[in-house]
Amino acid sequence: MGVLVGKQAPDFKASAVINGDIKADYNLSQFKGKKYVLLFFYPLDFTFVCPTELHAFQEKLKQFEEKNVQVIGCSVDSHYSHLAWTNTPKKNGGIQGVTYPLVSDLNKTIARDYDVLIDGAGIALRGLFLIDKEGVVRHQVVNDLPLGRNTDEALRMVDALQFFEKHGEVCPANWTEGKQTMKPDSTGLKKYFA
């Protein structure tokens, strides 16, 4: 598994479904210099853990937007499959109500570029990448297929990154907004543990 943290996020241009509409040339680079991006991969439309995750991100979407974060989902399905799934009610296993972009990676190049493609299976692991405004991956986590993600943890990582960028202090284990941070030196560590 490749580690992309500290590297430029691989750009892409692909079809995407956004709030019920198909956009042909959706690309990552449009956010550079403007927004943070939370790009997450999921295995397939019309499956089981996936809709729980997509709805969970939708439920927290306003919080991400308030932090200037663009949430983007991506799978190896076609944009037609994405559109059909967004038109399927939640009670029937659909993701009706999901408004953030769902990118179609039908040729599997995006999943391959982010090193989450499962060889031989043709689907992606549950990869999540937090990309800063300069297009650099600052956080990544990859889950196996049966393990759903935690949207609150994704928000916490956004908070930690933005706090560090603004104040230059680092965020210790289990840090949440409003808790103690530290200067990144031995004096800061001693003060933190004092």
CATH number at residue 144: 3.40.30.10
Q: Which residues does the annotation mark as catalytic? A: 50
**What range defines the domain where residue 176 resides?**
150-194
- Segments in the chain below pLDDT 50: none
Nearest to 109 by CA among 10, 6, 1, 7: 10
Predicted local distance difference test score (pLDDT) of residue 6: 97
Question: Does 8 fall in a domain?
Answer: no
Q: So what's the pLDDT on residue 2?
A: 87
Residue at 2 is within a domain = no
> Quick one: 69 and 106 in the same domain?
yes
Burial of 119-133, coded b for 16+ CB within 10 Å and e otherwise, reads eeeebbbbbbbbbbe
Q: Which pLDDT score, from 0 to 100, does residue 1 have?
A: 57
